[in-house]
Structure 1
């Protein structure tokens, strides 16, 4: 599979009775999931999530799917189906609704409740909501939908079967096959088998753990490890996890009751999400266990438990502020226990280890995935994927949700079970299902859309490159005054630098060469200030590269006297 299919052109017109699949995010990355299905001139969207930036995207808050490919056809969208409530599947929905506010939203009770809270934050009025559960069937235009229970690291996750005149598509969403889940809600393999008997023409499967052999560890395996951490701790316990991980919070609440501790939430998203989960019955809060975070200080340390956000080292999260001793009212003491009950999202390793080191420096005992079984994945490993392929027996497979290596590994598993046609695609690569055969037919424009503060889509890759240069190499400003009548430099250059240990005197050797280069350009008849600025940039740029082995951002200013 080439990256990113540069040889492909725009897709041809969709054949009559063909189904088109347009992934706008989530293929080639873990996050930003969004897939568009087109049939008979109508569109159905499955998921609309965000991707969180890495170190190469300084200043960026979120990354959205690129809606450009469907922007002029948003009136053709029948519905947006949300498979579950994680940010990488629902987080971009408010930005889509800014462009068309009345798109029907379809999802499970918890998923839509979490989304509705997000829409209120964005001050969007509630659009049509269709709450569904496993076993439900509902139609939107030419798309007949059926929902199947799947197990994941958030309650109420669903797979969706999409029936059209072109055949049936089964989209797993994110899933695993925990056989003893904490909420008793297992992935419905009987429904998968029934759909397989009917005939699944295209199977879109979660690829995240396709490289991991065997079966994903059950959530219940974590309970004894948490129990041990509680039993061994003589002081306060802080548990950091995702603000949506209802099952992990339930385990912590149960352990706290058993060890006679009180619990408080720290972090706005944690407080909000757990209130929603409790109100809807997905989280059972034993009476008398919860207190306000500020009230914990009145209790002995051995009776305190905090459940916090910040398991990924986010710089503004509660845990990061605790590690830096800048939190308003939580001050870590030597001997406290901190449990990081989450996975390491690729790209976050340095931030997480920075927080772990900060906590350890303050004297805390830090329990994390590297030294204890305090987190298990929410995604199916290779053994589970093989199981599904053998049950469903799909005619065509399109691996989704994962980096390129994950999707290739997933495709190999499908082939091992006898699937003859595995189609690989990435964001923007268009796949058509025609006469029961899926194939790549072209690609659409599909870039990253960056959210930077209140700005959406204004920051470009070029500007991010400038930010990286500023951060890594610093900048130099050069001001030159020229006398356009006399045709020579009349003042300067004045040179200032930031971002490196350069003194103004370090630039003395290059001042005369800049004057000579500008005078030469003026003598040759160049009077355009932009051209003269380029002369200054080239002259000092070559010198800095040669003398200091640096490539800083250079900001030349040429002023006519």
Structure 2
């Protein structure tokens, strides 16, 4: 299996008639999915999502793909094809459309409705083209065919891309649930038909490639959800992804069966479920969903709340309930149902919320103690099944961390794909399909672009390092008044510490070190305020590290006497 190398350079020009594939997100990570296809001088983008920050990225709202490599070619983009409506596939679209607003968006009805709601917040009116399974659409030199796939959101699509260089099949996120709640199964007949035609490059979802067997059917969760609603003595509070229409439908059905009224809480939950209901993807019995003010007047055993925050997001409704910062206050006897999986990196935040909810007396039901969630991604058995019916000439695993990509590649090899034709790449690695063979040919920039409030790209790795230092090590401000003639301290420096454990005499030991550094500077003729500040910072930093094994941020301020 070929894989990326750190020595890769900018790729050469694409050979005439070739197809270039540039993943700008989703390879080596779970999220930020974006793939650029180049052919005959034009670009086609499949998905443009976001990645959610981890604890070591303080202050960051979301992380975008890096548009640097296509920024000067945005006029060549014929469309953005959206496989489904999850944030890790559509969340970056508003930021790309800021740079060229008229890029056509192609997607299913629900997907376009979700992205339209997001774009309204950015005051962007999209140029949209709705498609459904079975549709074929020419986008410049790319002839696209759309196939139904089953996922944890309705209306997900795979896309087959035909060019003069060959046929590419991109699964998007998918699984092969044979008993889906909406009766819409993955189009394996279509996959097999494309296999007969000859798939030159197969881009496959890798998220569950390490998981043996087949992913459990959504329908098998119904008994566990029903048990929660049947046995809960007081309120039931359900937290789920704001886009998981199928799961919300199961919850609404259980609430209706057991005589509970329901209220949606959380802006994205209210918005998305309103869209899903209006478009007919969510069946809401008349009178079931009510306003929170109506719900509050009902007996506790007649109440159900569906809210956001299943991943421990600090500002989401569930986190605020756990922190006693929400109108809904958790009480003894309440039942909280976490109807979602744990996204890698969010475990600590989620378990912290579970502990807080338990502290206030709630019974917390989650994937670890009940069958209340199944994955939306194909397990190893399903992936092998697809390889065997598609029989691709080249394979490029997508959507996963390195372990997932490698496991997926191994599955392809075990089904008979030539190991030299399995491409293990990472974000930014360029893959060219020429003469029926896919090869890595170079690399383009594909770093993290941080959204920090209203700022896009302003926060850098250096910024985050400073924030982590402030959070973990503290800060020491040193105000030194220096005699401009002698270069010596005019008086003892003032030390202001925050987040650094100190007492009144703590900094007595560092004063002689500062004096020594200033004396050495005077001997060498160093006298500018900036240079003296650097010397003081080094002296105080070395002392703190040596004495306390800490590396606080040092802010020196030199004032000429």
TM-score for the superposition, normalised by structure 1: 0.98
Mean Cα deviation higher: 127-136 or 529-538: 529-538
Distance, in Å, in 1 between the alignment partners of 2:340 and 2:2 is 33
Distance, in Å, in 2 between the alignment partners of 1:336 and 1:544 is 49
Distance, in Å, in 2 between the alignment partners of 1:331 and 1:543 is 48
The alpha carbon displacement at 1:491 in A equals: 2.9
Asked if the contact 2:3–2:423 (Cα under 8 Å) also holds between the matched residues in 1, the reply is no
Distance, in Å, in 1 between the alignment partners of 2:520 and 2:47 is 60
Distance, in Å, in 2 between the alignment partners of 1:324 and 1:374 is 24
SS of aligned partner of 1:22: strand
Asked if the contact 2:313–2:319 (Cα under 8 Å) also holds between the matched residues in 1, the reply is yes
Unmatched tracts of structure 1, length 5 or more: none
SS of aligned partner of 2:229: helix
Matching residue within 337, 340, 345 for 2:338: 340
The alpha carbon displacement at 1:3 in A equals: 8.8
Deviation by residue 1:124-158 (Cα, 9 ceiling, x = unmatched)? 1x221100000000011100000000000000000
Alignment partner, residue 26 of structure 2: 26
Q: RMSD over aligned Cα, in angstroms? A: 1.1
SS of aligned partner of 1:242: coil
Deviation by residue 1:529-557 (Cα, 9 ceiling, x = unmatched)? 22211211121111111111111111112
Pairwise mapping of residues 305-320 of structure 1 onto structure 2 (< 5 A)? 305-320=304-319
Mean Cα deviation higher: 503-512 or 43-52: 503-512
Alignment partner, residue 115 of structure 1: 115
Distance, in Å, in 2 between the alignment partners of 1:249 and 1:439 is 43
Distance, in Å, in 1 between the alignment partners of 2:337 and 2:270 is 18
Alignment partner, residue 419 of structure 1: 417
Note if 1:298 corresponds to 2:297: yes
SS of aligned partner of 1:235: coil
SS of aligned partner of 1:274: helix
SS of aligned partner of 2:226: helix
Note if 1:166 corresponds to 2:171: no
Asked if the contact 1:479–1:492 (Cα under 8 Å) also holds between the matched residues in 2, the reply is no
Alignment partner, residue 398 of structure 1: 396
Mean Cα deviation higher: 265-274 or 285-294: 285-294
Alignment partner, residue 409 of structure 1: 407
Alignment partner, residue 503 of structure 2: 503
Asked if the contact 1:478–1:494 (Cα under 8 Å) also holds between the matched residues in 2, the reply is yes
Distance, in Å, in 1 between the alignment partners of 2:170 and 2:448 is 24
How many residue pairs get aligned? The number is 559
Note if 1:151 corresponds to 2:154: no
Asked if the contact 1:204–1:397 (Cα under 8 Å) also holds between the matched residues in 2, the reply is yes
Mean Cα deviation higher: 508-517 or 141-150: 508-517
Alignment partner, residue 471 of structure 1: 471
Unmatched tracts of structure 2, length 5 or more: none
SS of aligned partner of 1:363: coil
Pairwise mapping of residues 517-556 of structure 1 onto structure 2 (< 5 A)? 517-556=517-556
Distance, in Å, in 1 between the alignment partners of 2:27 and 2:2 is 13
The alpha carbon displacement at 1:488 in A equals: 2.4
Asked if the contact 1:83–1:157 (Cα under 8 Å) also holds between the matched residues in 2, the reply is yes
Pairwise mapping of residues 62-77 of structure 1 onto structure 2 (< 5 A)? 62-77=62-77
Pair 1:481–1:2, CA change in 2 (3 A): farther
Distance, in Å, in 2 between the alignment partners of 1:558 and 1:519 is 15
Deviation by residue 1:46-91 (Cα, 9 ceiling, x = unmatched)? 0000000001100000000000000000000000000000000000
Asked if the contact 1:493–1:515 (Cα under 8 Å) also holds between the matched residues in 2, the reply is no
Distance, in Å, in 1 between the alignment partners of 2:504 and 2:196 is 77
SS of aligned partner of 2:493: strand
Distance, in Å, in 1 between the alignment partners of 2:560 and 2:500 is 30
Distance, in Å, in 2 between the alignment partners of 1:144 and 1:96 is 23
Distance, in Å, in 2 between the alignment partners of 1:214 and 1:365 is 32
Asked if the contact 2:4–2:424 (Cα under 8 Å) also holds between the matched residues in 1, the reply is no
Alignment partner, residue 359 of structure 1: 357
Distance, in Å, in 2 between the alignment partners of 1:485 and 1:365 is 71
Distance, in Å, in 2 between the alignment partners of 1:513 and 1:173 is 60
Alignment partner, residue 445 of structure 2: 445
Alignment partner, residue 242 of structure 1: 241
The alpha carbon displacement at 1:2 in A equals: 9.6
Distance, in Å, in 2 between the alignment partners of 1:29 and 1:225 is 31
Asked if the contact 1:495–1:504 (Cα under 8 Å) also holds between the matched residues in 2, the reply is no
Asked if the contact 1:496–1:504 (Cα under 8 Å) also holds between the matched residues in 2, the reply is no
